[in-house]
Structure 1
Amino acid sequence: MFSRRQILAGVGTGLIAAPAILRAQQLFTAFPFRLGIASGDPSHDGFVIWTRLCPDPVEEHGGMPMGPVEVDWFVYEDEAMRRIAQKGSATAWPELGHSVHVELAGLQPDRPYWYRFAIGRDKTQLGRGHTLPAPGAPLDRLRFGVAGCQNYEDGLFTAYAHLAREDIAFVWHFGDYIYEDRPRQVNYERDGSPRAHVRDHVGTDCYTIGDYRRRYAQYKMDPDLQAAHLAAPWFTTFDDHEVADNWSANATPYQHDPALFAFRRAAAMQAYYEHMPLRKASMPSGGAMQLYRRSRIGDLMTAHFLDTRQYRSVQPCKGGFEPPCPTVADPKQTVLGSAQEQWLDRGLRDGGSRWNLVAQQVMMMPLDRQSLPGGGEIRNLDSWGGYDAARERMAASFAERGDVIVMTGDEHQNFAGELRRQGGKGEVAAPEFVVTSITSGGDGWVKPEVQAQLRAHNPALQYLSDKRGYAVCEVTRDLWQTRFRGVDQVTAPGGSIATLATASVERGKPAINLS
């Protein structure tokens, strides 16, 4: 799949210690920008532009010399590249896998810009960034995309090719950008039936920085994923598979020793930062990173991007799909941690926006997952369904506002439902829209009879579907619309896209209307 040896020209004695010489030479016998480019974390006056030098994606150091390399960057006012808005150079440091994060500022609000990177004659494609409207500025309409859960082995990233053609201001990626597990010739559905892989991971389970870098490189080589990054800036947040399945704070179900898990977590977070268009404020330090953050977009919407992994209490019971045990009701159990809860509560109280988007990773609605008639209650205890007191605190902060929309990933299905207080039996606090996966689950993994049981046991659930894809949200002053977009196949090329359903919410009325 990848060339093993693409030797760098001119990496002789003396060059590694001289960045100016490295910059002047034609270093590479293979294209150094094979992982593409991206923009992200947009603000009203700029955004981050990203790349990583990696001429040999499977080699330990990406085929790079162990020294810094200067990279030129250009930002244009027009797609024809006639008017340069800004330009400069940045250093790709070996300590960060030769990744580059340029934080642009001083641009005009609410308009597109185009950008590229270059080293000598090697130049990237042209990417499109977009600044946001200034905080508080009048804004009547906003469109953005929502995507995540992209297991490379489960299918092709066809949905990203379609997302790249959507007219949107930005993409929010809710997590599971990579999957950290080893390649397996056969996977198994939750009912035990076998499912062959569409394509295989390279390497083994990810534990070291080299393992995670290799895995990101494999994913980022995908042309459809690269196209989606080229088309619009992304806000990115991680879930569990960027580190380890179902991890929480200092442990995973597979490693309960915090001291040992800390090494893996630190490596995973460094690799995540190296491969995402994040600001320096999110650079990992001491095995942790600041990922929850807020973006105020004109006077129309404030987006609160949450982190539901770093500060979470260990999952109760066995932490899977199972009957709830007494620990589920423990008031000390937390998903966000007290500091992040207070940060969110303050942000919601600040006001100034018509809508508040609570963008997070795991389902808040406490769905009963029992799939057999007459069975007892089953919950996903890796979701907010395992943390009753924390969920009730969130629901209380949303209640009676009429301007909060909760958006979620993780489930590999589309759901539209009501987040209700009192364990799902009380008043509606906010609508929740759960967006399906890009590939995880393949062409379909939830049987019709299971879907019927979910509907029967959960009156708060208004809609569900089992297709891969993404969502497009259109926000106006008084109406929020979430369009669930699905592809008909991901296990073979050529999947077509369609709108599966549109869920609408009027401001001040948390009821969901479907069409």
Structure 2
Amino acid sequence: MTMLDRRALLTKAAWAALAAPAALGGCASPAPLRHDPFRLGVASGDPLPDGMVLWTRLMGAPAAGADAAPLPGAEPIAVRWEVAEDAHFRRIAQRGVATALPELAHSVHVEVRGLAPGRWYHYRFLLGDAVSPPARTRTAPAPHELPGHLRLVHASCQRWEHGHYAAWRHVCAERPDLVVFLGDYVYEYPSPPDATGLARTHTLPLARTLADWRERYALHKSDPLLQAAHACAPWLVTWDDHEVQNDYAGTHGRGEPGDFLQLRAAAWQAFYEHMPLRAGTLAASGFGQLQLYRRQPWGRLAHLHVLDTRQWRDLQACRAPDGPARAVRPSACPELLQPGRTLLGTPQERWLREGLALDANSQPVRFSVLAQQTLFAPRHYPSGVQSTDSWDGYPAARTRLLQDIADIAPRNTVLLGGDIHQNYVCNVETQVAGRTRVVASEFCGTSVTSRSGTTQDKVDAIRRLNPHVLLARCEERGYCVSDVTPQRWTATLRAVRDPLDATSDAWDLARFVVEDGRPGPQPA
């Protein structure tokens, strides 16, 4: 795709995201439909005090043996949308027409504005005589308000084969205000030849092309429990590595550099096409770059700083050419300790520092939340090796962020993470005047379905070696739900009984509280 082609597509995407009040010229009008074009469901995300993004993707009639097929044709399609104050759509707050572009797989991203702050709405899409499932979303509180409560769910890592999505059914029952997804929404792999112990399999190949990635997202979004979770609340999404390739780092991946960058651009385009993201996520370079780090205010109760730890990172230390990231012994890998190494990239580090300063100094925010991909606190192994793909692989970058938190001193700092398929609850510590000081709290959640690949005995040994780790569990799949008030943050780790059972019940694994003005989680 040439630069001119990219700019034309970006212009189209921005135009298509406008919440147009009337029918748009140049769009096809469908004949009466004999299939459901909304088979992948609907979603909303990135709520503002006066609006949010509404998403869907139009699909064609199912092919033989498949749940959904791409919509044929190369014409833009006009899709109607409605936002209502009630579930029966009798009190319409806004309605309009959006454009589903064939260049973006007939996905729809409507950026609604002009709604009232801090309230729930209902929305749906209409195409011809077809009507999407209705869904709930909400606006964020007004910037000056201090809400009394925020219910926040964070989750990550939902490999298709490793389990059913029972966790999402329980998330719906939590009735969250916001769902934060921290990466690995899809996995690039084909199903293993041996299906023993798997919940289900699929027939898709290793994802390489744009068509491959679109099929991968369509597969995941065909799951009714995941659809229900998208329909119950707005989402705030970021990515990790499996949306592209395991352990990729910035422009570095396996295979020839040019081939990898083509794969990455295709994967990133499919990610945008299937997530409730604003058109501003796209950059002038097309899908060679996405602006994914951003801030999500929730009045003066919380500011969520959504991080991107993949696009801008340095290559993992001592990584062999065309090989995976591996744990290393620091003494055998001097590169690990180089002071300039970064996980976020210098511009994002500066952006985060400025955001924390705003939290602390301009109408102080109760909770500054870092929504990022992986475990932040150090994890020292009995073997003496150190991970290179997490923050442990970028110790200088972690030290810089810790220094910023200590110097700026936001009122309360909470880090949310995922990636490692384990539950970790940690005191986040730094050295101040030669003394260890707790400056933040961390809740790194387990996976929705993806297996941990370790044993509890090994995890217990790690915990004994790391006194800042308050809880470490590897055997449960699930999510974390946090109830946030001006006085405290209460995090409940929820686990499903059986990831292989779509009807599995769930239970409370543990609960921790962060009191206002007292850094560090306390068992509740």
Give the TM-score taking structure 1 as reference length: 0.89
**Amino acid in the other structure paired with 1:481:** T
Question: How do 1:155-174 residues align onto structure 2 when only pairs under 5 Å count?
Answer: 155-174=163-182
| Counterpart residue number, 1:312 | 313
| Counterpart residue number, 2:329 | 323
Root-mean-square deviation (Å): 2.1
Query: Is the 2:168–2:225 contact (alpha carbons within 8 Å) kept by the matching residues of 1?
Result: yes
- The answer as to 2:438 corresponding to 1:428 is yes
CA distance in 1, matches of 2:237, 2:344: 17
Question: What's the CA shift for 1:21?
Answer: 7.6
**SS of residue paired to 2:290:** coil
CA distance in 1, matches of 2:176, 2:435: 36
**SS of residue paired to 2:374:** coil
| Counterpart residue number, 2:345 | 337
| Counterpart residue number, 2:515 | 506
Question: What's the CA shift for 1:100?
Answer: 0.3
| Counterpart residue number, 1:53 | 58
| Counterpart residue number, 1:223 | 224
Within the candidate set 35, 38, 56, 1:33 is matched to 38
| Counterpart residue number, 1:297 | 298
Aligned residues: 481
Question: What's the CA shift for 1:377?
Answer: 1.3
CA distance in 1, matches of 2:328, 2:380: 10
Instruction: Please say which of residues 226-235 and 134-143 is displaced more in the overlay.
Output: 134-143
Query: Is the 2:478–2:496 contact (alpha carbons within 8 Å) kept by the matching residues of 1?
Result: yes
CA distance in 2, matches of 1:201, 1:396: 46
Query: Is the 1:406–1:431 contact (alpha carbons within 8 Å) kept by the matching residues of 2?
Result: yes
Question: What's the CA shift for 1:401?
Answer: 4.0
**SS of residue paired to 2:161:** helix
Distance 1:19 1:350, change over 3 A: closer
**SS of residue paired to 2:376:** coil
**Amino acid in the other structure paired with 1:404:** T
Within the candidate set 372, 388, 397, 1:390 is matched to 397
- Contiguous gaps of at least 5 residues in structure 2: 1-23, 320-324
**SS of residue paired to 1:379:** coil
Query: Is the 1:185–1:196 contact (alpha carbons within 8 Å) kept by the matching residues of 2?
Result: no
| Counterpart residue number, 1:204 | 205
CA distance in 1, matches of 2:499, 2:466: 29
Please give the per-residue CA displacement for 1:365-409, whole angstroms capped at 9, x wherever unaligned. 120134xxxxx3122210000011000001111125451101101
| Counterpart residue number, 2:248 | 247
| Counterpart residue number, 2:257 | 258
**SS of residue paired to 1:196:** coil
CA distance in 2, matches of 1:509, 1:19: 57
Distance 1:121 1:388, change over 3 A: same
CA distance in 1, matches of 2:241, 2:310: 7
Query: Is the 2:26–2:76 contact (alpha carbons within 8 Å) kept by the matching residues of 1?
Result: no
Query: Is the 1:142–1:169 contact (alpha carbons within 8 Å) kept by the matching residues of 2?
Result: yes
| Counterpart residue number, 1:271 | 270
**Amino acid in the other structure paired with 1:385:** D
Identity of aligned residues (%): 39
| Counterpart residue number, 2:282 | 283
Query: Is the 2:27–2:76 contact (alpha carbons within 8 Å) kept by the matching residues of 1?
Result: no
CA distance in 1, matches of 2:68, 2:520: 52
Instruction: Please say which of residues 286-295 and 154-163 is displaced more in the overlay.
Output: 286-295
| Counterpart residue number, 1:470 | 479
Distance 1:264 1:425, change over 3 A: farther
**Amino acid in the other structure paired with 1:104:** V
- The answer as to 2:458 corresponding to 1:458 is no
Please give the per-residue CA displacement for 1:207-254, whole angstroms capped at 9, x wherever unaligned. 1100000000000000000000010000010111111111110012x2
- The answer as to 2:367 corresponding to 1:355 is yes
**SS of residue paired to 2:28:** helix
**Amino acid in the other structure paired with 1:383:** S
Distance 1:197 1:416, change over 3 A: same
Within the candidate set 51, 71, 82, 2:79 is matched to 71
Please give the per-residue CA displacement for 1:283-341, whole angstroms capped at 9, x wherever unaligned. 35251100000022111111100000000000112322343321111112100001000
**Amino acid in the other structure paired with 2:398:** R
CA distance in 2, matches of 1:69, 1:130: 27
Runs of 4+ in 1 over 4 A off after TM superposition: 18-21, 57-61, 422-425
Query: Is the 1:402–1:509 contact (alpha carbons within 8 Å) kept by the matching residues of 2?
Result: no
Within the candidate set 356, 379, 382, 1:367 is matched to 379
